[in-house]
Amino acid sequence: MKTVLFATSEARPLIKTGGLADVSGALPAALRELGIDCRLLLPGYHAVLAALDNAQEVARFTGLPGLVDSRLLLGAMPDSGVPVYVIDAPAYYLRAGGPYHDAGGVDYTDNAERFGLLSRIAAILCTAESPLEWRPDLLHCNDWQTGLAPAWLHFAGHPVPSVMTIHNLAFQGIFPPALVARLGLPPESFQIDGVEYFGSLSFLKAGLFYADRITTVSPSYAEEIRQEPLGMGLQGLLTTRADQLTGIINGIDTADWNPAGDPHIGSAYSSRALTGKRRCKEALQTDLSLEISPLAPLFGVVSRLTSQKGLDWIIQVAPGIIDRGGQLAILGTGDKAIESALRELVAAYPGRISATIGYDEGLSHRIEAGADIFLMPSRFEPCGLNQMYSLRYGTVPIVHATGGLKDTVEDEVTGFVFHDASAHGLWLAIEQALALHADKGAWKRLMQAGMSRDFSWERSAREYLNLYEDTLAKRQA
Ligand code: ADP
């Protein structure tokens, strides 16, 4: 096991719309640290070509059915130096809007071709037909945009095994059946044991059906998606393939999120020297016009403002938090109704509740550093990052027992985990936390236990590497 091609439609710092970009930016670099020659394959959007202006042409692809001709460039990721193959197909990727839709939020009408090309080239680079000398031992695909690649590998005689990772099951890449012929897929692939999904072509289903192994971003989420409602229509297939479905928690950027060296916060601290955290709390209270009170339990929230994130439950418990002498600092953007409910809360409890509507990376760090307790009552959460940042910053998280939250926070050891999916369930956990917060020694033990946990990418990369090796061994057996 020496080489891996990591095919993805976004990667930080070049192009990002969600968590997929964070994983694609970090995991290949962490795998390289472990001695694997992992290389990225990305579409050549404006931002990608601009950042890799000295990338060299290494191959050309012409005459692929239904797809435009393209060039393959080889460059290096700006921060990590990870080699990256870029598909230069201006007609597909040089668009004024985002990677998937135009500036108005409307999906591009040729997304099947745009990501059909990404999938097709990913597969070709794994076969004897590849124009490159460099050949992967395994193909790692991510989300629907690369979902056809495992199908193409299957029809090419399965030269190497593939792993398909689900970052977001909500997007499945569903297209009219005519695309099957247009993209040159064999007609027999259009069946339930193939790329067909309720009469349409589904890129994601293709990947989940043909890949050797499937992963998602936490063990609990890997279980939850085998049922309704989180399976989003794919629960049957995911149940059938349960033996090949694994959950691996994402890492976090431990350099960016490090209380001992965070340029966004005023006072550095660590689990052995916590004084700086008290100063961060005071600075945050000052910054947000909250009453300066070292003893008031300060609850932090940094989140997209959506019902997925349980913001309605937070709004319901907020008066109770204030009644008990607490304070609440919220940062987020999203649903207009939630934004206006938050503004009403601030008006009702001046000096006790602060709500910053907007996206502010610096403030997100200052809330993580300055708060005592972090609320993350997501209804579902494939992995989640903020609970891990909170643990690292000694900000005790209160989370709903779902997905990655359940897998990263240990009830009463590093945080509080509630099972009853309701505002009442959240409130009971808050009461439990407040009772413990009054006991200084016990609280410090909780903070330090969380701060000692390892959420580095190295740990996750080792799990992926084990999975790759196992996949390769099973195939060769
Ligand atoms: P999701 O990807 O579902 O939004 P995650 O917890 O996995 O949830 O990741 C969210 C990321 O976005 C975190 O890094 C979080 O700090 C950041 N974030 C969310 N909202 C804001 C905001 N308003 N300002 C700054 N950062 C934010």
Give the mean pLDDT per block of 10 residues along the chain (477 residues): 96 92 96 98 97 96 98 96 98 95 94 98 98 98 98 97 95 97 97 97 98 98 97 97 97 94 97 97 98 97 94 98 98 95 97 96 97 98 97 98 98 98 98 97 98 96 98 84
Answer yes or no: do 462 and 450 share one domain: no
Q: What is the pLDDT of residue 18?
A: 85
Residues with CB under 6 A from ligand 1: 18-19, 302-304, 331-333, 359-361, 364, 383-386
Instruction: Give, in order, the Cα–Cα distances in Å from 170 to each of 8, 357, 424.
Output: 17, 26, 28
Gyration radius (Cα) of the chain, Å: 24
Predicted confidence at residue 84, as pLDDT, reads 98
323 within domain boundaries:
yes
Distance (angstroms) between ligand 1 centre and the Cα of 263 equals 19
For residue 333, give the ligand 1 atom closest to its CA.
23
Residue 174, domain member (yes or no): yes
- Give the count of domains, the chain: 2
Same domain, 158 and 226: yes
Q: Which residues contact 370 (CB under 8 A, 6 or more apart)?
A: 265, 277, 280, 281, 282, 283, 284, 285, 298, 300, 329
Contact of 139 with 153, CB cutoff 8 Å: yes
| 293 located within any domain | yes
- Asked if 236 and 279 sit in the same domain, the reply is no
Q: Are residues 304 and 399 in the same domain?
A: yes
Say if residue 87 is in the same domain as residue 214. yes
CA–CA separation, 24 and 281 (whole Å) = 34
Do 237 and 210 fall within a single domain? yes
CATH classification of the domain holding 310: 3.40.50.2000
Same domain, yes or no: 389 and 411: yes
Reduced to 3 states (helix: H, G, I; strand: E, B; else coil), residue 61 is strand
* Residues 293 and 220 grouped into a single domain: no
Q: Answer yes or no: is 45 within a domain.
A: yes
Query: Could you tell me if 211 and 86 lie in one domain?
Result: yes
Residue 363, domain extent: 275-454
Q: Does residue 180 fall inside a structural domain?
A: yes
471 in the same domain as 411: no
Sign of torsion over alpha carbons 297, 300, 305, 307: negative
Query: Can you give the pLDDT at residue 193?
Result: 96
pLDDT at res. 477: 64
Measured in Å, residue 61 CA sits from the centre of ligand 1 at 38
356 in any annotated domain: yes
* Residue 361 alpha carbon, nearest atom of ligand 1: 25
Same domain, 351 and 465: no
For a pocket test of ligand 1, which of 333, 338, 359, 379 has the largest count of ligand atoms closer than 8 A to its C-beta? 359
State whether 361 and 441 are in the same domain: yes
User: Does residue 258 fall inside a structural domain?
Assistant: no
Q: Specify if 308 maps to a domain.
A: yes
